[in-house]
Chains A and B, each alone.
Chain A
Amino acid sequence: MDRLLDVRQLKTAQLGPLDLAVQPGELVQVTGASGAGKSLLLRALADLDPNTGEIMLNGEARDAMLPVQWRRRVAYVPAETAWWGEHVDEHLPAGFSRETALHLLEQVALPEGSLGWEIERLSSGEKQRLGLVRALLNKPRVLLLDEPTANLDLENTKRIERAVRAYLAEEDAAALWVSHDTLQRQRLGGRILTIHEGQLENTAWS
């Protein structure tokens, strides 16, 4: 079986029913007008909103996994990452590997010491890059990126794009990426899903 994520009859209050399959290593873009349901699709896949239907990860049913296990493997990264403690390292998953952290920080061009930085003093670019590192430390199989670069300059945007690409290649993981930016869409390439009024409308390749 070479399907990493297999979604059948996924349905929420405003979405679906829709089917979707994603291969390992694939980066799938999700587009559509605002309010069409792009975020709702990602939130449903991360099991953050009530939904019905069948979702399988590597042939393993979502409902057979604890919610905590599921969300570590299918990681949702919002447009604006939330921080609640005083320092960056308070927000990292327990028992993460230091080696992995260093590798990921290098990918997003941040120094080792950034894990001890104060949240107050982070720029929005640093927050989004650290937000990505934080999510990747769980070693997710599927990344759900909900406009992760929406408020960033081009330099930071490209750092995040590169880091995601590198992660997908190294881990043979997949990503669903919601983006409004046409240039970004061209850079990312691959399969593009369009959502209209909660339904998958068409699939294109760029």
Chain B
Amino acid sequence: MELISLSALDLTLAALLVVALAGLTVWARMGLGRSLLIAGARTVIQLLLIGLVLQTLFDHAQLGWVALMAVTMLAVAGYEVMARQQRRFAGLWGYGIGAVTMFVSAFAVTVLALTTMVGPSPWWEPQYAIPLLGMLLGNTMTGIALGLDRLTQTVWRERRTIEARLALGSGWSEAVATMRREAARSGLMPTINAMAAAGIVSLPGMMTGQILAGAPPVEAVKYQILIMFLITAGTGFGTLGAVWFASRRLFDTRERLRLDRLKPGRHT
């Protein structure tokens, strides 16, 4: 089996489907036409660019370039985590909690997988390192963003309860335990659901891609299992870490609830 190369015409035909959908929404006055077309255009431009970047990276496989790419991906993911918070921490913490926990979890899991499980040579071989890191960062980012958002929202809403517990002599950790548990759950649920539904409800994207590219299904499945475990570990450790640090940061050294450390909520 070999990969069938797609021509410009093939892509144009697919694009016409999106244009047709946009036309339909305009006709039905649903106000989605513009967003659809802009998002479609962004897909083309962003993916073509990243294709070129990856091609260049593969052609000049040097550790420095791979590291630069990885750090850029992390920086953007850190920004995404921050941007998705309705009430985020003020100052550097708003960016730092997400970025640092993602660095620790997604980076560590990727490096561990590359050095001990996949084992390309050299271990940072961009063909393996970049897609792996991308999948891990993408999922970890979602988990951490969901977890942090849920934590700050519920703590804000339940501040009277938290202060009542503090006033009755509970420690900060006990006073915020329910909210922390809920936040960790909401960060991890998508990943757990994806594992549970894998192969039955949906064929995961990476596996599908490998099969399309001509890999034997059993090999593709093995990669998919590996990836799902890595994603679960990365997302899980990242979310638990982020939620823990954020919940600690919501209290000061005298265990007072410090909602003034959050920026005011956005009305969206």
Give the interface of A toward B (CB within 8 A): 46-50, 67-69, 71-72, 75-78, 80-84, 91, 93, 134-135, 138
Task: Say which residue of B158, B161, B169 sits within 8 Å of A93 (CB atoms).
Answer: B169
B252 at interface, CB cutoff 8 A: yes
Contact in complex: A46, B255 (CB < 8 Å): no
State which of A67, A75, A91, A135 has its C-beta within 8 Å of the C-beta of B255: A67
Q: Which chain B residues have a beta carbon within 8 Å of chain A's beta carbons?
A: 158, 160-161, 163-171, 178, 252, 254-258
Contact of A84 among B161, B169, B257 (CB under 8 A): B161
Complex CA–CA separation, A194 to B14 (angstroms): 75
Is there an interface contact between A48 and B161, defined as CB atoms closer than 8 Å? no
When C-beta atoms are compared, the residue in chain A nearest to B255 turns out to be A67
Contacts A82-B161, A84-B161, A84-B178 given: A67-B254 contact, CB under 8 Å? yes
Interface centre among A47, A83, A84 (most CB of B within 10 A): A84
Chain A residues with Cβ below 8 Å from B168 are: 71-72, 75, 91, 93, 134-135, 138
Most chain A beta carbons < 10 A, residue from B161, B164, B171, B255: B164
The contact sample of 9 A-B pairs, CB cut-off 8 A, is: A47-B256, A67-B166, A68-B169, A68-B255, A75-B168, A78-B160, A82-B164, A84-B161, A84-B165
Q: Name the contact of B257 in the complex, choosing from A48, A68, A76, A138 (C-beta under 8 A).
A: A48
CB closest residue in chain A, given B171: A68
Given A82-B160, A84-B161, A84-B178, A46 and B254 contact (CB-CB distance below 8 Å)? no
CB atoms of A48 and B163 under 8 A apart: yes
Q: Are B161 and A50 in contact (CB under 8 A)?
A: no
Complex contact A72–B160 (CB within 8 A): no
Tell whether, in the assembled complex, residue A75 and residue B178 are in contact, meaning their CB atoms are under 8 Å apart: no
Q: Contacts A71-B169, A72-B169 given: A81-B164 contact, CB under 8 Å?
A: yes
A71 contacts across to B, CB distance below 8 A: 166-169
B160, closest chain A residue (CB): A82
Q: Give the chain A neighbours of B163 by CB distance below 8 A.
A: 48, 78, 82
Residues of chain A within 8 A (CB-CB) of B171 are 67-68
B166–A48 CB distance below 8 A: yes
Given contacts A48-B167, A76-B167, 16 further A-B contacts (CB under 8 A): A46-B167, A47-B256, A48-B257, A50-B254, A50-B256, A67-B255, A68-B169, A68-B170, A71-B166, A71-B167, A71-B168, A75-B167, A78-B167, A80-B160, A82-B160, A134-B168
Decide: B254 and A47 in contact? CB cutoff 8 A. yes
Distance (whole angstroms) from the CB of A51 to the closest CB of chain B: 9
Give CA–CA (A134, B168) in the complex, Å: 8
Nearest CB on B from A187, distance (A): 25
Distance of A77 Cα from B168 Cα, bound (Å): 9
